[in-house]
Amino acid sequence: MTTPKTPASDPAPGSGAGSDLNHPRLLAQAQTWIFDLDNTLYPARCNLFDQVDQRMGRFIAEALSVDHDEARVIQKRYFRDYGTTLSGLMARHDVDPHDFLAYVHDIDYSPIEPDLRLADALDRLPGRKVIFTNGTVAHAQSVIDRLGVERHFAEIFDIHAADYTPKPKPAPYRTMVERFAVAPETAVMVEDIAQNLETPHAMGMRTVWVRTEHAWSKPGVGVADADAADEGAPAPYIHHVTEDLTTFLHEVLASDDADPSDPTDAPARP
């Protein structure tokens, strides 16, 4: 489940690959778990993004009175240039973010199935659980209702709360941490888009990358190291890797049960 690590002599928070902080047992003692939503809490094979992607194109075609092909070009260009399609639409066309977000998340959630094993892991995992998504609270609630894990999440920080500045830009991480009074060195961030883990790592959080088949979710996409993206190689800001969040959480719980007296289980200090 985790990437092989060599123990390091200096386990400073945020020191990345090789740190003792990478031991899975430490995760079981985290005070706050921060979960991304899409393709993290539910499997990427549910492919909700395809539906959202289609509706973004349709919204643009209608709002800007352009044909389907032109709408797709605009959609992808704004995503590339502004970080999200919405940011481009707001900057260039004064689009109301509430209208856009409600429209694009008006989708069929039935591909998501109840996940009893995930609910069980979240039940047993100590610490507060929150969701940090570039989507909306309404979208997140639809997803966690389908999964059957709505009771586990105390808070949801969404793109409205982020004032429409998406991950991986640093600002929403800082706002989220303040809003929820998270001590980063006692927190874990879980994400399918590797790049979104760079700031949490720099802040002193431990990071878990839920690897998917999507090229854009791999380390290096959108940053300089394109080779790493090609290989899907872990980056220094990725402390743990899994392809199945539920199994990973159960493994974290099992590792904590295995040797509770081990002194290296002591929580990390800032």
In Å, how far from its chain's centre is CA 47? 16
Instruction: Provide the token pair at 212.
Output: 């998917």
- Which of 158, 192, 251, 256 touches Mg ion by CB under 5 A? 192
Stretch of 80-88, 93-101, 105-113, 187-195 contacting Mg ion, by CB under 5 A: 187-195
- Closer to Mg ion by CB, 32 or 39: give it: 39
- 195 with 212: CB under 8 angstroms? no
Among 22, 36, 164, 229, binds Mg ion (CB under 5 A): 36
Q: Whose Cβ is closer to Mg ion: residue 32's or residue 212's?
A: 212
CB-wise, 40 or 207, nearer to Mg ion?
40
**Residue of 19, 26, 27, 38 interacting with Mg ion (CB under 5 A):** 38
β-sheet bridge partners, residue 187: 32
Task: Name which of 60, 87, 63 is nearest 74 in CA terms.
Answer: 60
User: What distance in Å separates the CA atoms of residue 197 and residue 176, rounded to the nearest whole number?
Assistant: 14
Candidate segments 1-9, 80-88, 159-167, 184-192, binder of Mg ion by CB under 5 A: 184-192
Cis peptide before 168 (omega within 30 of 0): yes
Stretch that binds Mg ion, among 33-41, 53-61, 69-77, 171-179 (CB under 5 A): 33-41
Pick from 39, 85, 142, 242 the residue near Mg ion by CB under 5 A: 39
Of 39 and 242, which CB lies nearer to Mg ion in the complex structure? 39
Strands 128-132 and 187-191, by their bridges, are unpaired
CA separation, residue 261 to residues 8, 129, 130, 265 (Å):
21, 25, 29, 7
Does 158 bind Mg ion (CB under 5 A)? Our answer is no
Interface residues with Mg ion (CB under 5 A) are 36, 38-40, 192
